[in-house]
Structure 1
Amino acid sequence: MVANQEGLDTHSAVSYHWRVWELTGLMRPPGIGHLAYRVYSVVLNSVVTVLFPLSLLARLLFTTNMAAMCENLSITITDIVANLKFVNVYLVRSQLHEIRVLLRRMDGRTRSVGHPAELSALRREVDIAQGTFRTFARIFVFGTILSCVRVVIRPDRELIFPAWFGLDWQHSTRNYVLINLYQLFGLIVQAVQNCASDSYPPAYLCLLTGHMRALELRVRRIGYRMEEDGSSGGDLDYDAWREEVYEELVECIRDLMRVHRLREIIQRILSVACMAQFVCSAAVQCTVAMHFLYMADDHDLTAMIISIVFFTSITLEVFVICFFGDRMRTQSEALCDAFYACNWVEQLPKFKRALLFTLARTQRPSLIFAGNYIALSLETFEQIMRFTYSTFTLLLRAR
């Protein structure tokens, strides 16, 4: 049990994400000088994060064909929003470091309590968060391979992504190879960035849910230890036990304040990213669906498959955020119920007063809001899908 307690590190839920942020120039890893890492970060992000979407946008301005415009627009919107989310990570990096410090403190508290159910609940959320990253990684790998296969099997020359570079790549093999190599490099870097940007919101929601669950289990045990131990004794033992239970409640209230602090920080780091994701998804779903219809008319099977994968990925990104936001809300309600479930009847008056104040604080379930307005819940996902379907129907009639 001691080894298991010492091994608890809930921040490992985002270890993949931190590794990606280190590789892509956002978080300087230990052992690398400031100047060298800054040069590396500026060069990499200038070549990929800035130039890559600009080449897509330039091509979009020269597009006149409707089917090509739908394809280019969906890719351009997705790439620009993905880069904005990547920039948002850079802007909130101080909050990410603050979460890291706070999680260490909360892990230390869980280790000091040492209850197996709490440790198991936290490890389960860490596994879910890491599994979510791996799922997104598989999707991005599949999409990357599919894009490359499409270029290889096409009878005529075609770039991985429709982009403009001001070079004649259709009649120059050298330019064609160099541009495709650049796009392949940019695609890999962007895919890695997007994988981390899309999966870190559910990862942090998992961390918040896990610590809420651990605290719920801790609160439910308040006041029952004496009965479980079968202890008996005089009034002195009983009064000492009630004082001990009160101190236990005070510690749990401090834990609750840390959970609320964690929720506040996560709200700040996810607000802009989730709002951008919602807006992007609604727009891209419509354009991808329109592009699919045009490719169906042209019988372009590879483009149709890419459209289906792209549409599924965009929808999955929104669903995952809303699903984990809904899980967190449900867990916050269970945490509130836990304070009612503790053995408060036999306790001191000061215990009951502290409990009443705490209950007043926990009456409203905790929610994370996109743009400080739209709740991350399954109801929101349903509304987004309805809005997308309505917009697509309108565009279909206009077609």
Structure 2
Amino acid sequence: MDMAKVDSTRALVNHWRIFRIIGVHPPGKRTVWGRHYTAYSMVWNVTFHICIWLSFSVNLLQSNSLETFCESLCVAMPHTLYMLKLINVGRMRGELIRSHRVLRHLDRRLGCADERRIIVAGIEQAEFIFRTILRGIVCTVTVGIVYMAVASEPTLMYPTWIPWNWRDSSSSYLSTAMLHTTAIMANATAVLNLCTYPGTYLILVSAHTKALALRVSKLGYGPPLPAVRMQAILVGYIHDHQIILRLFKSLERSLSMTCFLQFFCTACAQCTICYFLLFGNVGIMRFMNMLFLLVALTTETLLLCYTAELLCKEGESLLTAVYSCNWLSQSVHFRRLLLLMLARCQNPLILVAGVIVPISMKTFMVVIKGAYTMLTLLNEIRKSSLE
């Protein structure tokens, strides 16, 4: 990437291309696709989201044992969450798109090669995470296909209710398996995007916060400048910080409620999958299929908590940078402005889910502990039913 022309939104291009494909980001009305996009979106979402959701949900309601209930719940609940996330993206799309203009404005505020390198590193980190999650999802779907191929009896990738008898003949099973697998692959595309786009935005905001911290830490150490000029530079940095804070609040509004539901969903999925793997009678390929699903669901929440914690850390670095600039040799008015920035920097950049739950690695550990507690409870229920 050309260091002289850094574009943060480059890391978001793939996300919004996929959002367009899955029906939540309409193109311009002047194009043929744009004029018919509403119909396209309805067909895509009814076929690949609502139908498969009904299939998972009916299968869950038909569960006749704790083991089958756990196996069904661990796919029905995450899919419900992904549908809610998709609705949320459609609802907040305008605000997310407006944040791109803010990111480009912050790109233009970069002052030196070191700051540009920080942003480029953030873009590369976001793209690396996207590619890694893509490979993980491809592996998960591949394991599911292998599981269907080697199964001793007709089976589908995940427990699903099908409204026709698809086990009677090879042709019926083959057509059903192909339809089911196609729907799962379409959902996997949406899952890839819904898992990674929050982390990409958070990484970009973190990178710009880090670049601002570098600018602030250099204040007063260069060639001597008039007091008025130094004050003007600091005012510009204060404005940059205000822009970052507004961008942070915008992301919090966009992600808050779905992140709260994600924590609950992850704990339930971890609990039910572990119960099914530990106490269910499963073969090696079925075991691997559910194990990969467990890793995928856990990684999604881990990524969210990691990137949110990264942003919080860079906010603390900005506070340190305010202290480390050469404020001793500056004017009284400069110091007053610096105190104003210092007061604002003391509010930590902690994303909050559902108003009360901070998104951090500590919360991720709480989710895992909650899953273990629920697993213990399910085990006690299993023991009491055997007695």
Aligned-pair CA distance for 1:48:
1.0
- 1:285 matches 2:284: no
Q: Which one of the candidate residues 324, 339, 353 is aligned to 2:336?
A: 353
1:233 corresponding residue in structure 2: none
Give secondary structure in 2 for the equivalent of 1:49.
helix
Provide, for residues 347-370 of structure 1, a one-character-per-residue CA deviation record: whole Å limited to 9, x for no partner: 122111111111111112111111
Aligned length: 380
Q: Which residue of 1 aligns with 2:4?
A: 5
In structure 2, C-alpha distance between the alignment counterparts of 1:63 and 1:357, rounded to whole Å: 60
CA contact (8 A) 1:122 1:211 kept: yes
Moved more, 60-69 or 79-88: 60-69
Correspondence 1:169-180 to 2 at 5 A: 169-180=166-177
Q: Larger Cα Rg: Structure 1 or Structure 2?
A: 1
Is 1:312 aligned to residue 310 of structure 2? no
Output the CA distance in 2 between the equivalents of 1:312 and 1:319.
Answer: 10
Structure 2 counterpart of 1:127: 124
**More moved, 162-171 vs 196-205:** 162-171
- TM (normalized to structure 1)? 0.92
SS of the counterpart of 2:109?
Answer: helix
Q: Which amino acid aligns with 2:368?
A: M
Quick check: 1:276 aligned with 2:261? yes
**Matching residue's letter, 1:254:** H
C-alpha contact 1:86 1:194 (8 A) present in aligned 2: no
Match of 1:225, SS state, is coil
Show structure 2 runs of 5+ residues with no match.
383-387
Matches within 5 A, 1:20-169: 20-29=18-27, 31-110=31-110, 113=111, 115-169=112-166
CA distance in 1: counterparts of 2:337 and 2:46, whole angstroms: 55
CA distance, structure 1, for counterparts of residue 313 and residue 3 of structure 2: 28
Distance, in Å, in 2 between the alignment partners of 1:178 and 1:286 is 33
Distance 2:132 2:260 in 1: 22
Per-residue deviation, 1:81:
1.0
Pair 1:204 & 2:174 matched = no
| Alignment check: 8 A CA contact 1:16 1:133 kept | no
d(CA) in 2 for partners of 1:276, 1:213: 30
Q: Which residue of 2 aligns with 1:329?
A: 312
Specify which of 323, 335, 353 is matched with residue 370 of structure 1.
353
1:80 shift after superposition? 1.1
Aligned to 1:380: 363
Q: Is the 8 A contact 1:367 1:375 kept in 2?
A: yes
Moved more, 205-214 or 160-169: 160-169
Contact 2:206 2:311 in 1 (8 A): yes
2:385 counterpart residue number: none
- The corresponding residue for 1:19 is 17
Aligned partners of 1:370, 1:280: CA distance in 2, in Å? 13
- 2:183 pairs, out of 173, 181, 186, with 186
Segment drifting more, 326-335 vs 386-395: 386-395
Separation of aligned partners in 2, 1:385 and 1:56: 25
Shift of 1:33: 4.1
Give 1:178 deviation, angstroms. Answer: 2.5
Confirm or deny: 8 A CA contact 1:129 1:203 kept in the other structure. Answer: yes
Q: Which residue does 1:339 correspond to in 2?
A: 322
Partner of 1:230: none
Question: SS where residue 219 of structure 2 aligns?
Answer: coil
Distance in 2 between the 1:151 and 1:250 partners? 62
Report sequence identity in percent.
28
Moved more, 169-178 or 199-208: 169-178
What amino acid sits opposite 1:92 in the alignment?
A: M
Residues in 2 aligned to 1:82 and 1:245: alpha-carbon distance in whole angstroms: 49
After superposition, what is the alpha-carbon deviation per residue over 1:192-220, rounded to whole angstroms, capped at 9, x for unaligned?
10111011111111011001001000111
Q: Is the 8 A contact 1:85 1:276 kept in 2?
A: no
Structure 1: distance between partners of 2:32 and 2:216: 44
Mean Cα deviation higher: 68-77 or 213-222: 68-77
One-letter code aligned to 1:209: S
SS in 2 for 1:5: coil
- Asked if structure 1 preserves the Cα contact closer than 8 Å seen for 2:27 and 2:33, the reply is no
Query: Post-superposition shift, 1:69?
Result: 2.2
Partner of 1:248: 233
1:323-360 CA distance string (max 9 Å, x none): 11111111101101111111111212211111111111
Contact kept? 2:3, 2:117, Cα under 8 Å: no
**For the Cα contact (< 8 Å) 1:58–1:164, is it kept in 2?**
yes
**RMSD of equivalent CA atoms:** 1.6
Matches of 1:310 and 1:160, distance apart in 2 = 11
2:243 corresponds to: 258
3-state SS of 1:226 partner: coil
Give the match for residue 220 of structure 1.
217
Q: Distance in 2 between matches of 1:197 and 1:375?
A: 20
Q: Counterpart amino acid of 2:92?
A: V
TM-aligned CA deviation for residue 179 of structure 1: 1.9
Report the AA paired with residue 174 of structure 2: V
User: Displacement, 1:60?
Assistant: 1.7
Q: Deviations over 1:146-186 (max 9, x none)?
A: 11111111121112232223211111434322222221111
